[in-house]
Structure 1
Amino acid sequence: MTPAPTPDRRLAVLGAGSWGTTFARVLADGGAEVALWARREEIAREIREQHRNSAYLPDHRLPETVHATSDLEEALDGADGVVIAIPAQSLRGTLETWPALPAVPVLSLTKGIERGTDARISEVIAAAGGAAPQRIGVLSGPNLSAEIAERRPCASVVAAPSQELAEIFAAWCTAPYLRAYTSTDVIGVEIAGAVKNVIAIAVGAAVGLGHGHNTTASLITRGLAEITRLGVALGGRPETFSGLAGLGDLVATCASPLSRNHRLGLALGQGLDVEAAAAAVGQTAEGVATARAVADLAARIGVDMPITRAVVAVVDHGESIDEVTTALLSRSVRPE
C-alpha cells in the first residue's frame, strides 16, 4: 500500500459547526494537517476518537489528518494559518476572550455584518482578534456545506488585500472537488456573502406563501441590484457581484432547500413566527441578525434596499410576511 503523503501545512480551523467541520475536511483533502477547535469538549472528543461530528456532520467520516481539540492554545500551536468559522454575531465576543491571533494568514468563512457596529467580518477579526488587516482574507461563493461535504464539484472565491495572499489562501483550498478563484476585492466579496442571506429569507418566504418562479426570479434579480448598490457604495468592484461571490452565491442560497436562510424564510411564509422558524431550521441562519445591520448600514450611507427593509420589518418588528411581500412587489413605477 502506498503511504499517505505527509501534510505540507498545518492549519487551525476555529469553529466546529457544520461549515467549519466541512471546511476542515476540504483543507485535509487538499493536503493539510488540520487542528479543528470545538467550543464543546464532547464534540472534540468524538472527532478525535471516532472521526465524526454527529452533531453537525453526522453522515461523513473525517480524514485522519483532522485532529480536534477544545483547547485553543493547542489548536493554534504551530499553525501556518488560521481559518475562522464562528457565527458573525458571536465572533467579537469570542475573539475578545482569547489572546491575539498568531501572526499568520487568517481566512474568514463567516458571512454577515455585525449588529451594532455595522462592521464587516474582516474588520471584526482585525479589531477583536488582533490580526493585521493585510493578512486577513475571506472566502465566499456557492458554499452549501451539505454538498461540499459530499465532495460535489464547486467553485469559490478567496479575496485578500494582495494577490499574493489570495493565492496562498487558494493553495489551501486545493481539494479535487473545489476550485478556488482569487480576488483582491475583500469589501465586495464580504458584502455579497452577507447580504445574500437576507435576500434568501425573502425568497424563501415567497415560496412559503405559494408564489411561483416569476416572483422568486424577480426577488433574486432585484436582490442582486440591492447587493451591488451597497457593495459599490462601500468600495467594492461592480464585477464582483456578477461572479461567484455575488450572483453565484445568491442563486444557490436563494434557490436551494439546503440553505438555512431559505428554509427560515420558507417557514415564515408558511405562518411561523421568527422564533418558531429559527427552531425549525435548527442552526444559525445569519440573515436574521444580519438584516438589521445591513439596513442600518445602507440607511447611513444613503443606499436604497427595499427587500432588506422588508425582511427587517418581519424579523425585527413582527409585521406580516404576506403584507410586506405584497407591498414590496407593488412599488411605484420606476426605471429598472
Structure 2
Amino acid sequence: MAPGKANILKSMPKKLKKLYSRTLVNTFDRVDFLGLARFFANSESARRIREKFKDLPPAWDNQDQLSELAIDLLIQQTAQNGDPIDPQTAAQLIDEIRVRYDSQQHIWAATAIATLFDYLFDLDDPDYPFTSKDKRELAHVGQLQAHMAAGKGVVYLVNHSTHFDEFLIDMLWQHARLGLPLFAAGQNMMRIKSLGKLLNLGLYVVLRQGANRHQMAALYNYCRAISEIGGQQGIFLEAWAGGARTKDGSLRYPRRLVTLRGALDVSDDVVVQPIALSYSVVPEDLPLCARGGGRAWFRGVGFWRGLGKIIAHPKTFPLRMAQNLYGRAYLNMPRPWLLSELKALHEADKGGLALDEFVSLHCIREIARSKKIMASQLVARGLVSARRKRIRDLEAAVSQELELIREYHQSTFGHEPDLEDFIRHNPLDRVIADGLATLRRRGIISRLRRDELKLPLVRSEAGLSFYATHADRRIYSPTADQNLVIVGAGYWGFAIARLVGLRLLEDKRYNNASLTLFDTRRELVDEMNLRRTGSGRFSEVLLPKNIFVTHDLPSAFRKASEIIIASTPEDFEARLEAILRATDHPFKLIIATRGLLPGHRRPAITVARQMATRLGRGEVEAFALTGPVDPEEIVNAAPVKGILAGQQPGLSQLADLFNLPPAGVTLSLDPVGVQVADTMARIYAMWVNFVMRSDRPHRPQDVGRLMADGAGETRRLALAMGASEDTFRAGSHAFITTYVTASFDGDIRDFGRDLGRLARKQKDIPAAAQKLDRQMKEDGHGVQVLADLQLAHEAAAELGLDLPVLSDAFETICAGKNADDDQ
C-alpha cells in the first residue's frame, strides 16, 4: 500500500470522530435548553419543587460589581509584575470568563434540575436531597451560615466523580437557601451555545489548554474577586489535572490550581469548606475507567422495563424510565475552616508546602475522613478480594473488607467510617444483594454467569476496580513518610511500578507511602494518566490506583526517599545526574537499569557511585535490582525471583517492597558482581542458542563447555571491575539463574536461535543481527544483548583480559568473522 493511502486510512477514524462531534454540536445547538428548562419547570411533574423555589432570592445580582473588581485586580497585578495590560484588554479577558446570571432563569433551571434529580436519584428526604434521614451530613451547616452572614466568602473544595457533582451541591443549596456557588466550566462545555447559556447562570468559563499568561491572570483574579466580595465558589480537587474527574475512583493529593490560589488571595479572611460526594452509581463509570461509550449513562433502564413504562405512561415515560436510575448519592460537609486558622496550622507545619497546597491537602484528608461508604463500593471491594484470595464465600470476603475499612478509619481518623444508612440498617446479605444488583445494572458483572469460584462473572475488570477503589480512603500524599519514585515508564519500569504499587496496597504498613512513576516523555505520561494503563504490550494492563505518573522532575523527586531507576543504559547517566542535581536530601537509589553503560563500559552501579562522589552526594546509598526476570512475567504475576544487592543495613527493608508472592527477591552484598553476572549471562545465553541453531558443531559436551567457560570469563571480568570473589564461589547464583532462564525461554533465546538460523543462509551475520534487533524492537520485544556484547568486548580489551568465548561471539556477530575464516 502506498504511504499516502496508508496515512489517509490512518486518519479516517479521527476525521469521522470530528464529523460526529460537529454534527452532534450542530444538532444540540438547535435545542433551546433554557426554553426546555422553563417548560419543564412549569409542568405538572415539577409542581412541588416549583412552589418551593418560586421565591428563591437572587444569588448573583452583583455580578457586574464582581467583574469590575476582577478587572481592577487584574490591572493591578499585571502592573506589579511588570507586564501591564490596558483596561480594555482586561475588560475583554474578564468578559470571556464571567458568569451571566439571571434570577428568573435561575429559578426555572433550579426547578427543572431538582425535579429531574428527584427521579434520577433515590432520595432519603426530597426536601433535603443527598442527605440521610438524620441529617448528619449537615451537622456543621450552622457554622457555615454564621460565617456567610458575617459577609465572608466561601471556597468549597470538592472531590470530583461525575459531571453531576456541582449540580448535587447546587440543588441541596437551593433547598437549604444557602445561595448559588460558582463553579468552573471548561470552554469545551460551552461549544453548544444554547446549553452554554444555561450553564453560564452558575458557571464561569476556563480554558482547559492553551491559556496564555494574561488569560491565567484573568482567571486568578476573577476567583480572587469572588472571595473578596463575599461570594461562594466551588473548586474540584484532583491529582493529575485540575478539575478532572477521578478515572480510577481514588482520592489523590491535589495539584496546584490557579483558581484556588486566586480564591485564597484575600485581604481579610475566607471560609474553606470541604465537601465529600459519594455515589452508589457513577453515571459515567465505564467511560471514565474503561473508555466505554455514552451508553453507560443509560445503563439500568433495560429494554423491557423501558417498553413497559412507554405503554403504561405514554406522556411521562421518560421520567418514569429514569426513576432511581442512579441510586443513592450523599453530600457530606465536614466542619468549615477559616483561612486564618489554616494559615496558623501552615506556619507550624514543617512540610514545606505552599499555602494552597497545604489547604488542598488538608481538605482532601477531611474528604477522605467523611466520605460515605456505599453498598456498591463495599461489595465491589469484597468481590475483588474474594477473587484475589480465591475465596468462594463472597459474604465472608465482604465482611472482612468491612472490618478492614473500620480498622483503617479508627487507626487513621480516630472514628468509625460513615457507612450509608442502607449498610447500617440492613443485614449483610441484603447489602450484598443490593451491591451486586447495582454492579449488574452497570454492566460490571454478568447477570447470570459465574466464574470457576462460583462468584459472579466479571465483565469489566476496570469497572470493578473503579467501584472498589471508591471505598478506599487512602491518600498518597507528598508529605508521606515514604515517597518512592520509579524512573522510566517503559516495560521494565511499568512492571516494577505495578509490582511495588500492588505490594504497597497489600500491607497497611505502607498506608502512608506514595508512589510516583516518572518519565520525561510528556505525551506518554499524559496518555498513561488518561487511560491509567501501560503502553505497547501493556496497553490493556491497569496501573495500580496508588501510582501517580508525572513528567515534572522537581515535584517527582522533591521528597523522594527511595528512587528506582529503570531507564535504558543510554538514558541512565543523564537521568541520574538530573536527579542528583534536583535533590539535596539523602535517599536510597535502587538501580534496575540492566547492561553496561555506553561510554563507560561498566555496570550502572559503578557509574552511579562515581557520579555521586563527583557531585558531593556521598550520602546517597546505591543498590542494584537485577536477575532472571522478564517484565511480562511480573505483570502476569508469575513466580519470579530477582536479586537485590547492596550493603546492610537497609537491604532487607528494601527487599520487602518487592515481596509480593509469587514474586520476590534474593539478597546479595555485591551489586557490582550481580550486575556484571546478569549482563554476561544474557550474552552467553544468546551465544549458546546461536551456536545450537547455526552450522557450528554443538554436541552436548560442546554446549556444556561453553557454559562453563562463559561462567569463568564472567568471574574474571566481574572481579576486574571490582566485584567480590564471594559472589562467584561454588558457582554464581546471579550468573546461573539468569543464564539458564535466558537460554531456555524469552527474547534472548529467540534472538539467538533466529540469528543462528539466519547465519546458515547468509554470510553477513552482523547485518542480519542488526535487522533482527530492529524487528524485535518494532514488535515490542527488543533486547540489548548486541550493545552489551560490544561493550563487554571493549571492556575486556581495556582491562587486558583474554576471554576467548566472548571474543568468538563478538567476532562472529558484531565483526562478521566466521569460524572457518581462519582455516
TM-score per shorter chain, which class? 0.7 to 0.9
Cα distance in 2 between the residues matched to 1:200 and 1:293: 16
Correspondent of 1:195 among 680, 683, 703: 680
Q: TM-score, normalised by structure 1?
A: 0.84
Q: Cα gap change, 1:210/1:313 in structure 2, threshold over 3 Å: closer, same or farther?
A: closer
Letter in 2 for 1:296: E
Counterpart among 227, 242, 248 of residue 714 in structure 2 = 227
How much has 1:174 moved relative to structure 2? 2.1
- The residue that corresponds to 1:177 in the other structure is 662
Q: What's the counterpart of residue 74 of structure 1?
A: 555
Among 677, 690, 702, the residue aligned to 1:205: 690
Measured in 2, the distance between the counterparts of 1:295 and 1:216 equals 21
For the aligned residue pairs, the C-alpha RMSD in angstroms reads 2.9
- Match runs of 1:133-144 below 5 Å: 135-144=621-630
Change (3 A) 1:89 1:217: farther
The CA distance in 2 between the partners of 1:165 and 1:295, in whole Å, is 35
- The answer to whether the 8 A contact 1:109-1:139 is kept is yes
- Which residue of 2 is the match for residue 119 of structure 1? 602
Helix, strand or coil: the match of 2:664? strand
Range 179-188 or range 135-144, more displaced: 179-188
- SS for the counterpart of 1:30 is helix
Distance in 1 of aligned mates of 2:709 and 2:473: 48
Secondary structure, in 3 states, of the residue corresponding to 2:538? coil
Equivalent position SS for 1:303: coil
Aligned residues of 2:774 and 2:782 also touching (Cα < 8 A): no
Match of 1:50 in 2: 531
Task: Give 2:156's aligned residue.
Answer: none
Gaps of 5+ in 1: 331-336
Equivalent in 500, 503, 511 of residue 30 of structure 1: 503
Indicate how the Cα distance of structure 1 residues 213 and 84 shifts in structure 2: closer, same or farther if over 3 A, else same: farther
1:37 & 1:208 partners in 2: Cα distance? Answer: 41
Partner of 1:280: 775
CA distance in 2 between counterparts of 1:207 and 1:39 reads 41
Q: Distance in 2 between matches of 1:39 and 1:216?
A: 43
Displacement of 1:62: 1.8
> Partner residue of 2:573?
92
Which residue of 309, 313, 318 corresponds with 2:816? Answer: 318
Distance 1:37 1:213 in 2: 48
Cα distance, 1:60–1:228 mapped onto 2, change above 3 Å: same
Distance 2:814 2:598 in 1: 12
Spell out structure 1 runs of 4+ moving beyond 6 A.
Answer: 210-213
Name the counterpart of 1:251. Answer: 740
Greater relative contact order structure (CA < 8 Å, 6+ sep)? 1
Inter-CA distance 69–314: structure 2 relative to 1 (3 Å threshold):
farther
Q: Deviations over 1:46-69 (max 9, x none)?
A: 322222113252342221112211
Give the Å deviation of 1:128: 4.4
**Residue 12 of structure 1, aligned match among 473, 480, 485:** 485
The one of 806, 814, 820 equivalent to 1:308 is 806
Letter in 2 for 1:120: P
- Tell me the equivalent position of 1:148: 634
Q: Is the 8 A contact 1:138 1:186 kept in 2?
A: yes
- Quote the Cα distance in structure 2 between the aligned partners of 1:220 and 1:73: 46
Post-superposition offset of 1:269: 1.5
| Unaligned runs of at least 5 residues, structure 2 | 1-377, 379-400, 406-471, 505-512, 759-766
Q: Residue 86 of structure 1 aligns to a residue in which SS?
A: coil
What displacement does 1:317 show? 1.7
Looking at structure 2, the residues matched to 99 and 116 of structure 1 have their Cα atoms a distance apart, in angstroms, of 20
Decide whether aligned partners of structure 1 residues 300 and 155 sit closer, same or farther in structure 2, where only a CA change above 3 A counts: same
CA contact (8 A) 2:554 2:582 kept: no
Which range is displaced more, 1-10 or 305-314? 1-10
Alignment partner, residue 240 of structure 1: 727
Output one character per residue of 1:158-212: Cα deviation in whole Å (capped at 9) or x when no partner.
111x211322321221222222222211221121122122213212322442776
Could you say if the C-alpha distance between residues 118 and 82 of structure 1 is closer, same or farther in structure 2, counting changes exceeding 3 Å?
Answer: same
Distance, in Å, in 2 between the alignment partners of 1:235 and 1:96 is: 23
- Displacement after TM superposition at 1:133 (Å): 7.5
Q: Structure 1 residues 43 and 227, CA, compared in 2 at 3 Å: closer, same or farther?
A: same
Identity of aligned residues (%): 21
Distance in structure 2 (CA, Å) of the matches to 1:216 and 1:39? 43
**Shift of the alpha carbon at 1:268?**
2.1
Task: Output the TM-score relative to the length of structure 2.
Answer: 0.36
2:788 maps to which of 268, 273, 290? 290
Instruction: Decide whether the 8 Å contact of 2:751 with 2:772 is kept in 1.
Output: yes
Judge which range, 170-179 or 4-13, deviates more. 4-13
SS in structure 2 at match of 1:157: strand
